[in-house]
Structure formats: structure tokens, C-alpha cells
Amino acid sequence: MQDVLGNTLGLKPSQLHALRRTYRRRVDAQSIVTPELARHLTEVSRETNRQIGIFLDRKGDVQAVIVGDARKLELPDVGRARAGDSRLRGVRLVHTHLNGEPLTRDDHTDLALLRLDLVAAIEVQEDGLPGKVHYAHLLPENPQGAMWKDEVAPSVHDLPYDALSGALALEDEFARARAVRRTGGRERAILVGFGGRERGRAEAEASLEELRELARTAGVEVIDATVQLRRDPDPRYLIGKGKLEDIVLRSMQLMATMIVFDSNLSPSQARHIAEATSLKILDRTQLILDIFAQRAQSADGKLQVELAQLQYLYPRLVGRDDSLSRLAGGIGGRGPGETKLEIDRRRVRDRITALERRIEALGESRHLRRKQRNARGLPVLSIVGYTNAGKSTLLNALTHSEVLAEDKLFATLDPTSRRLRFPRDREVIITDTVGFIRDLPPDLVNAFRATLEELTDADLLLHVVDASDPRQEEQIAAVHAILDGLGLGEKRRVLVLNKIDRLPARDGAALAHQREAVAVSAATGEGLPALLARCEQLLWAGGHRIELGDGAAATAEVASGPDACSWPRTPPALPAPAAEGEPGPRLLPAALRRVS
């Protein structure tokens, strides 16, 4: 005979024998519980003053008998789930309640997390007879957002619910909803923000909104978002365990495939959260790395993204046991050898070392090209700023290029250079760089340090800010912090307030005057001549270049008057074709030509 599970300490032999006899009973497959079995459970429960529960399969056989205490029931491991996300567990839980209470939070949690067919609680009356029956089953996704449905029957003799047909119908509904979701082919995520001592609710919600944009850029469908405020983060789950249970329940109701945390999770937190749910767990850094992996086009960018991913992965390689250890043969070599975890870590270390060498070699090649470019005496402007501030759009507006510009975060990953012609035949090289974001992963900054070295040789930085974004103060501070970390804190820069066409009239000019900036609209061209005038003023003074990356100098007469900074919106006409036998005009390299 099978054993009784749970809190059996202190039970009399006669009580244990009565509980073991429960395995002999059988219930009709369509019934939640029979009156005879319900009376048996309530009598033993009243005698022992403990909750008694049973697991019934769809054939009506008793699979387990569990003993709890007077207030709750600790469920044992119910084994692996049936195959498929739309399948239920195939068992229902029937147990007793001594104080006449309805289904508790623990009952609903067990119903959802274990995906039980049904949970029922039988009230135990003073005389030991069964009273009302409270039962609940899961619900498919619905507009009201309800996850389960609670019902109450006046007695065990009046239970209208068909347990078998109800479970099969629910599985059909779940399978139909899953098929609809699968046709979209996109990940469905719940976003989780965290606010503590250093971050209030307003800041946490603003950061969560930015995470929503990151998810949209990565191609993830956001179906829900929540923020928890607590004084200190939980060392195991970051958020509270109860909050995590609520999120897991919500994810099951909405058929989410992943949970994305706005904060960076430690390896221990990521492991514990993954153990508490079967969903994919991502944090802010992983989401940014995924976006970079999607956007990387050049060989340099792909190497840098791979390096950042491996540096993030290395401390998160955790072994479970020695089951995958490799045995070394020969005298003195017996016993557990190099484990699978050690092999993985060694391979990751070797790959990181190889990538760092290749990126360093590419950095030296770029340095040589920059030195040759500076030898020609052309000043360099570098566009920097927060992601999605309009940097690529500004480059296109100034140079009439067709660089990719999208309303997404990190649309530009690889640096792009173009030649920009100023009035009076002055020319500069203008470079578009990858956008910054607050809490940018340190591994990502280190991996892209070789690319960001382009900023070191720049004569002037154009710091582009989205003037219509209410979080521009935090964005400016984030860009300054990253530039300081790269050793560019003293580099000359011009603050460019972009997207003033989205502001009320004259607000852009007032904001620019307040911040000592230049207000422009890269989309409409407004303010671009004034921006070129400011750049010309800073790059040339008294007819001489102020500074060049390699110390070279170039002279040019400073123009004055109303036409000094006239900037043509249309590119100049190309030279006429040369006559036969005459040498044609010398064309600029394709990467530096002005694209019309």
C-alpha cells in the first residue's frame, strides 16, 4: 500500500491506517469527489485537526494522500508536466478546510503554477460531516484578466461541474490561443521594474518606459509591465517572492514567453528566478546585447558584440553537479577529470582572448587610417548623444546622405563618416557614432572602446539631444558620464537640441538660449545654418585651425557678413564630363564623397 505524505508526525497508527485505506477508493471521472470519499476525508480531518488532501487523476484513482496542519497543506512534487504549454497537469486537488474558509491564495497559486485540472476545498463541520464545497479552475485569456473562476456548491451532493469534460475543454481553449500566438512569431514579454532607496517611483517608471522601447526595438511584444517599490532588493529574486509569484501567474494567464527585468540581475538572482518559473529570464543588459547582435553589420561590430556577450556570459556559467565530468585514464589519472563547466569556461576564456587580439589589431588599423586622414588637414566632427536622439537624421540632413535612420533605439551601430562642405569651400569629416544609454553595460563599453576611439581624434563633438523628450536632463547626464569614462570630458562640444519641430513655437529658441545650445530640426532643416556657423566659429579663428588630432594646421580666411554661413540645402552640381583626351576631375573616395 502506498504511503501517506506530508505532516504525519504525531498521528496514531489507526489514523495512518485510515489514511492509507484512502488509496483503495475510486471516484467517477466526471465527479469532483463522491459524498463517501468527502465524508471520509472530513472525519479524518476533524479527528486529527489537520487538513487532508488527495490528488485524483482523470480516471478517478487516488494518486497521493497528503496531510497538512490546521491552516495549510504542503504539496509534494507532482512530477513532470504533460507535454505542451497548453496542457493541464491531469490531476485535481481535493482537500479539507477546518475553519470554513474559502479557497486561499495558496490554493489559487497551486492551481496556476502546477496547472492542476481543478482545486476543491471541503468545509469540515463541527460533527465531522462535509459542508460547502469551494472549487476553482483556470480560465483562458479574457478581457477581464481573470486567471481562474471560483464556484461554491452547497454540499457534496450538489456538484454540477464535470471535472473531466471541463479539463478537456480548457485544454482545447489553451491550445487554440497558443496557436494564435504562435502565428505571430514574436516573443511575448512582461516587463518588471524595480525602485528602491536610490530610485523613486517616477524614475523607475521612466526607466521602465525606456525598457519598453528597447523591447520594441528587439522585436519583443510587451503584453504587461509592473513596478515594485521596496527598500532593499531581495538577494535571491531582486523583487519580493510574493511579487514574483504574481508575475508568474500573470505570465501564465497572458501566455508570456519571457520576463524582462529593468535592472541587471546577478548570476545568483538570474538562477533563482529561472528556477521559480519555466519562462525565459532576461535583464536589461541581455536585451541591449541582443539589440546590438541584431544591428551589427560590419565585421568590427560583430566581433565587438560577441566579445561583450561572452564577457557577460562567463561569470554566469554554473555547473549543477559532477555528472558531466570527464574521467582521465592511466595510472594516477583516475577519478573525476575536467568537468563540463570547466571546459566551457576554458573555451570562453580562450575565445575572449582571441577576440580581444583581433579587435586590438582592427583598432590599430583604424588608428593608421585616422592618422592618414588627419594628415590631409581636414577637421573632424563627431556626432554623439543619447540613442534615438536623431543623430543619423542630422548626418543625412547635413550631408544629403542616406544613412539608415529609424525611430528605434540603437538604429546605428557601426560608425559612418561623410565629408561635409562648409561655406567658402571649407570641408570637414563628420562621423556618426553609436548612441549612448543610461546604465550602459560596462562590458559593452569596453568591447566598443576601439570603435569609440574615433571620438578621441575629433576636433569637435556635436552632442545631440532630443528636445521633445521630458527625460532630456537624465539623458544629458548619462552621455556626459560615458564621455568622462572614455577620457573625453574636456573635449570641446556643441549642445544641439534636435526635434524642435515637435515643440510649441519659440520654445525651442528659449530652451537653446537657456542651455547655450543650438536649436535645430534635422527633419525640416530648421536651424542647420546656425549650427554650421557655430561649428565654423569653433573650428576656425583668425584664419587658422584651432586644433587638429595629429597637431597639423590648416589656414582659411574667416568669412564675414550675411553670406558667411549660407549653407546650400541642395548639393553642388557635379563637374561636367571631360572632353575626349582630357583628364577628368579627381573624385573623392566613395566613403568621403558627399552623397546626394
Cα 388 to Cα 59, 179, 240, 467, distances in angstroms: 59, 35, 34, 12
pLDDT averaged per 10 residues in sequence order, the chain, 596 residues: 86 93 92 94 94 94 93 81 73 94 90 90 94 92 81 93 92 80 71 82 86 89 90 88 86 83 88 83 88 78 84 74 45 54 83 87 72 71 87 86 70 74 77 80 68 75 90 88 83 90 86 88 88 85 45 33 37 39 37 34
Q: Helix or strand or coil: residue 1?
A: coil
Strand runs (DSSP E) across 369-514, as ranges? 380-385, 416-422, 426-432, 460-466, 493-498
Cα–Cα distance measured from residue 215 to residue 222, given in angstroms and rounded to the nearest whole number: 7
Q: Which residue has the cell 496531510?
A: 67
Cα–Cα distance measured from residue 516 to residue 524, given in angstroms and rounded to the nearest whole number: 22
In the sheet that 52-57 helps form, which strands lie side by side, from edge to edge? Answer: 5-6, 62-67, 52-57, 91-97, 118-124, 130-138, 148-153
**Is domain 186-282 in CATH 3.40.50.11060, yes or no?**
yes
592 phi, psi to nearest 5 deg? -110, -5
pLDDT of amino acid 272: 87
Cα–Cα distance measured from residue 435 to residue 444, given in angstroms and rounded to the nearest whole number: 12
For residue 478, how many C-alpha atoms fall within 13 Å in the half-sphere facing its CB? 19
220: cell is 519583443
Strand runs (DSSP E) across 139-187, as ranges? 148-153
Amino acid occupying residue 476: I
Q: Which residue has the cell 565587438?
A: 304
What is the radius of gyration, based on Cα positions, of the chain? 34
Give strand pairing partners of 96: 122
Of the candidates 260, 512, 498, 550, the residue with the CA atom closest to the CA atom of residue 376: 550
Strand runs (DSSP E) across 98-167, as ranges? 118-124, 130-138, 148-153
Q: What is the largest CA-CA distance in the chain?
A: 117
216: cell is 520594441
In the chain, CATH 3.40.50.11060 covers 186-282
Q: Helix or strand or coil: residue 357?
A: helix
Cα–Cα distance measured from residue 211 to residue 193, given in angstroms and rounded to the nearest whole number: 9
What letter does residue 94 receive in the DSSP assignment?
E
In the chain, CATH 3.40.50.300 covers 374-545
The residue length of the chain stands at 596
Strand runs (DSSP E) across 288-409, as ranges? 380-385
pLDDT of amino acid 128: 92
Strand runs (DSSP E) across 433-537, as ranges? 460-466, 493-498, 518-519
Angle at which helices 284-295 and 201-218 cross, to 10°: 30
Q: How many Cβ atoms from other residues are within 10 Å of residue 233's Cβ?
A: 18
241: cell is 517572492
CA-angle at 262, arms to 288 and 105, nearest 5°: 140
Give strand pairing partners of 120: 94, 135
Q: Which residues contact 222 (CB under 8 A, 6 or more apart)?
A: 189, 190, 191, 212, 215, 216
Give strand pairing partners of 133: 122, 153
Q: What is the pTM of this model?
A: 0.70
Cα–Cα distance measured from residue 593 to residue 538, given in angstroms and rounded to the nearest whole number: 24
Fold of 374-545: Rossmann fold (3.40.50)
Helix (H) or strand (E) holding 500: none
Sign of CA dihedral 538, 539, 543, 544: positive
Cα–Cα distance measured from residue 156 to residue 440, given in angstroms and rounded to the nearest whole number: 60
Of the candidates 494, 480, 495, the residue with the CA atom closest to the CA atom of residue 436: 480
Of the candidates 309, 271, 302, the residue with the CA atom closest to the CA atom of residue 288: 309
Amino acid occupying residue 593: R
Q: Helix or strand or coil: residue 548?
A: coil
Cα–Cα distance measured from residue 221 to residue 225, given in angstroms and rounded to the nearest whole number: 11
Angle at which helices 13-20 and 35-48 cross, to 10°: 160
